[in-house]
Chains A and B, each alone.
Chain A
């Protein structure tokens, strides 16, 4: 059994409303449900903490809307984390929040509980876009939320943006990026809108004037460029940060390293196995066991995830982890990469296989081409 540090993810499945594009697992709940959730989480943390007995290098409270829990429950949850696991002093501890209400109290509790990084769902600085996305806040509220977080001692702040929205142009994206700058955000996640089956957006798709793939691609490249010029270095398909402020938790995923995910809908990767808790709050409250999800950490998986990163893959890394098999795979991919490097889809460098922003845009196809 390993004793190396792992990442810990807690899924908090509560929101005060559902955004029409979102297919994450979330529901609105009253105090008693949230109380029971925290209790179930405490048990799960205690169980896994004892069972694994491994240090934690990053904690991420995602959702849903973790800030929805309120200060007391949040604190109880965080205390359970630190009680059950040995969280390294250098650990990144992130909490997601939506700026729909005054968050000062929440930030205070979070900070007291050990949170040192805030991820705030801004999505856009443009009121029309916020309305279209069904967001229940303004850009100003997001601005205040950042200020309040910092006031509470949480200095490392990430903002979320969405790209390729109906009616969105370069101007709107430029404005949202400079808004992030004004907030002095350390990190920006910029996601291309994807219409997920089963969401209200999927049902309205016919009536939405979504940009076509070519236009969406242009907007993405524009966003990448603008973010770079604004000091946010792209380190993953959808993630940008001031140097040194890359999200350590997310890097765990892309580097195909281990993480434990607790809460309904949370996925884990431990000891070469993947498993998840189903998207079912009551099952989690009952204490149901997670569901097996097959093998993890295979060479192919490692390549697929690694190529999402700007740092890409090196022969050393693959060989260190997979030996001769990794070396062969690297050599094969290097050969296949040549035309893509020429075409500007991959970085024209030696000693590393890595995609360019243009390559990221077609990464599904490109990666399967390299792997075939």
Chain B
């Protein structure tokens, strides 16, 4: 049921976290009656539990809606929901490239935040028409006039006639719909040209293989066509294509230029249908691929180990399954003396890492131990070779290192001006280089810093939030590599290096970090039958030391009235507790000790 191109509106919604993106999407679905009310679950588009819980969109989603506009015409809306986190900037950019317009939601009380701006720029760069919307006007603290002014000042687009809505209460949603009709341009593209379609998302379906979400830029595609993924080079026969309805896929005879839909072609792995790749026809290819394709590049690496070594196979299976759906996740087997068999996993960023870990634990019921996240360092050795190191275990001997480089990030922090002092202090602690500061409005600033990526991957955002009472927001993009004075810090328990606790760090940070780690470990490692010395060292030189004293008293003095069962239960509990410990030489280390050293700022 192809419709005329001029009745199609392809758009996405851009917003800062919590500004109401998913709620507005739900209202739009409601208004277009795309979902029966009984199927309506709050925030329908965020269909992963994690997304609902965290209030963020992790994967892009898309839905085709029919809207009967006030001009009496039927329109087709393709709403493409974008991920809302810096880790997924590339995915955002591809989703935006599938649209002609973007609805920009700004919270009527909070105003413009870092992500709003970052994603708006992405949208502007993609040449999209921006439709500003001021949400949450029902809040007591709402100040829509001020926010409208801010949109004009900061983003430079007129906002005086921006719909003022409450997505939550369903107020003025129709104004948004009409704005989409009037302001978002209809798609262009020649249905008779060779097929050129942009992949903006995909997911793995156990029955049909990979379902590829596409925006047809030129030409058309039918079941039976042989398609080619231009970057990957693989070819498939289309089994089915059609539209993305709110609760199901609706097969169609064809998809043609301007439309958004799906293709199923018995593709076995999402790696074969990568986000950003161009789909064309094998026998009538377009002359060139769409611009902007980039293979997903993991930025953050960590070791992931099953708490119980017996579950290694389960962990591998789970990672394989997740990877079917997540082309950005990489993993390869790794062995640790301390933790046994596990995997070195690569992630787009820290959120991506947390999400994968949580999914492994929740959906696959695995108990995991993860090692400190690491970025990729470039080390030039004395023999002139350059190696990329993402695992402290592979860090070369200091005598073989000529120079080292670490990845940098261009970071923007948006905050009420009263927190500028705290933020500058934080950035300085994190070896940040001040770039500039601009006032977004009288009492809000945009602080621009160049920060080493390894300083922001652990807990930077958490600390930033806590030091600004949650008011600051943060965004970054990669900014190449810089020379750095790096060292590898090792932790020894009872004289033996625990490889899983080693990490690479800037020399200036090594001492305080070593001290905190030793202290934290001393708190977390329970007293055992022998004294346990904890030492932190760089290349054999000890720079911090703590001791876990030997256990002195753990005894049931009395067994009353022959009640042996109580003692037996205690023994069982004790043995059970031991199973949750990692035996490192003679030292038993609880899992939480590995985790706690990852978040040293917790109690400072």
- Chain A residues proximal to chain B, CB less than 8 Å: 9, 11, 24, 62, 191-192, 194, 213-214, 216-217, 220, 237-238, 253, 259, 261, 265-269, 274, 276, 293-294, 296, 300-301, 304-305, 339-340, 343, 345, 360-369, 371-372
Contact = CB atoms under 8 A, between A and B. Distances in A.
18 contacts: A11-B561, A194-B557, A213-B553, A217-B552, A265-B561, A267-B561, A305-B567, A339-B530, A343-B530, A360-B555, A361-B552, A361-B555, A362-B552, A363-B554, A364-B556, A367-B571, A368-B571, A372-B575
B248 interface: no
Given A253-B562, A267-B561, 13 more contacts: A24-B561, A192-B555, A214-B549, A214-B553, A217-B553, A253-B564, A267-B564, A343-B530, A361-B552, A362-B553, A365-B529, A368-B575, A371-B575
B528 A194 contact: no
B560 interface: yes
A216 B562 CA distance: 25
A264 to B, nearest CB: 10
A108 B557 CA distance: 32
A365 B574 contact: yes
Contacts of B555: 192, 237, 360-364
B529 to A, nearest CB: 6
A369 B588 CA distance: 11
Given A237-B555, A361-B554, A362-B552, A372 B562 contact: no
Interface in B547-604: 549, 551-565, 567-568, 570-571, 574-575, 578, 586
Contacts of A360: 555
Contacts of A305: 564, 567
A304 B554 contact: no
Given A304-B568, A361-B552, A368-B575, A345 B561 contact: no
Given A62-B561, A194-B557, A274-B565, A364 B571 contact: yes
Nearest to A369: B529
Interface residues of B, number: 27
Contacts of B570: 364
A37 to B, nearest CB: 16
A238 B555 CA distance: 10
Contacts of A294: 565
A269 B562 contact: yes
Q: Which of B549, B556, B562, B575 has the most CB atoms of chain A within a 10 A radius of its CB?
A: B562
A192 B557 contact: yes
B571 A304 contact: yes
Contacts of A340: 529
A253 B529 contact: no
A268 B564 CA distance: 9
A266 B560 CA distance: 9
Contacts of A345: 529
Contact of B553 (A220, A253, A371): A220
From A294, A360, A365, residue with most partner B Cβ within 10 Å = A365
B575 A364 contact: no
B325 to A, nearest CB: 40
A238 B556 CA distance: 10
Nearest to A266: B561
Contacts of A372: 575, 578
Given A363-B555, A365-B551, A267 B568 contact: no
A368 B578 contact: yes
B571 A266 contact: no
